Amino acid sequence: MESPTIIYSYEKYSFKVITPLMALMTIAFLVNGVYIGGAITFVLGVLFAFSYQGVIIDPLEKKYIRYDRFLSFKIGAWKPLPKASYVTLVRINVSSNRSGPTPMVAPQDKKGARAFKVNLVVEGSQRYVSVCRGSLEKMTEEALRLGEHLQIRVLDFSTHEKKWIL
């Protein structure tokens, strides 16, 4: 196993719905001759087009950060990391009957779809730190990598039979 001296990091591309809106606004500004407004919306659209979400866990300093990155600008704050108990891989159902404010593509089967999430279970009132979300293969790989990195166990909670995989 690796020693916990190296910082763990995970980063994923994040599509922002505002990016196409910025492109349309840029075209509207340029067609109407408002070049300064067009330039501003173009720059903002480029920033949003290259956006990533990620997490960095520093086990030595006992802190973590969840951030949004636009080009090389990171937005987020470091938080204290409670003592980690184990890593868990969880199945979440993505329903087409959402009432939340964020837009979501409807699942193919019209009933629901599955995504998987890796959580770092910690002691205290926080209970867990959400690390990443995605397909089963990638999240299993990330859960094992995080477990090896922090030298803690990994629980597969994605099936009806819960089992330790590390």
Terminal alpha carbon distance of the chain:
11
Amino acid at 50: F
Q: How confident is the model over 37-50, as a mean pLDDT?
A: 89
Packing angle between helix 35-49 and helix 18-31, nearest 10 degrees?
A: 160
* Residue-wise pLDDT tens digits, 7-27: 899 999 988 888 889 999 999
What is the rounded CA–CA span in Å between residue 76 and residue 80?
A: 13
pLDDT tens digits for range 68-101: 998 788 899 999 999 999 999 999 876 655 555 5
**Token pair of 88, please?**
């868990």
166 pLDDT higher than 90? no
Higher pLDDT among residues 24 and 109, named by residue: 24
